[in-house]
């Protein structure tokens, strides 16, 4: 099982991404700002709030055969349980 380490995430992902927020290239700066905002939402434990809305929008675009493929399985249930636990914890303090 994968264990989430918020300190490592900040050091290896967030810090370099924040530096890119000051890039002269607009597309890099824009993407970095968006990435930092999504990471902060996730680290604060608020990503679960927006998750269902995003899943509903994505599900609408799937064909019937694609929907059958992603039906509930044991692995999907395990992943959902782990995701719920990680995404609802505030890791910012």
pLDDT tens digits for the chain (93 residues)?
556 677 777 788 888 999 999 999 999 999 999 888 888 887 777 766 667 777 777 778 878 887 777 776 777 777 777 777 777 777 666
What is the C-alpha to C-alpha distance for residues 62 and 33, in angstroms, rounded to an integer? Answer: 29
Domain spans of the chain, in order of start: 6-87
What is the C-alpha to C-alpha distance for residues 25 and 29, in angstroms, rounded to an integer? Answer: 6
Predicted TM-score of the model (pTM)? 0.52
């Amino acid at each position: 099982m994968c264990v989430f380490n918020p300190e490592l995430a900040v050091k290896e992902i967030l810090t370099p991404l924040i530096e890119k927020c000051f890039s002269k290239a607009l597309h890099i700066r824009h993407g970095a700002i968006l990435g930092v905002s999504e990471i902060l939402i996730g680290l604060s434990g608020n990503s679960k709030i927006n998750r269902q809305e995003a899943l509903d929008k994505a599900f609408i675009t799937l064909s019937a055969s694609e929907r059958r493929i992603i039906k509930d399985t044991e692995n999907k249930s395990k992943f959902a349980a782990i995701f719920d636990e990680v995404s609802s914890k505030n890791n910012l303090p």
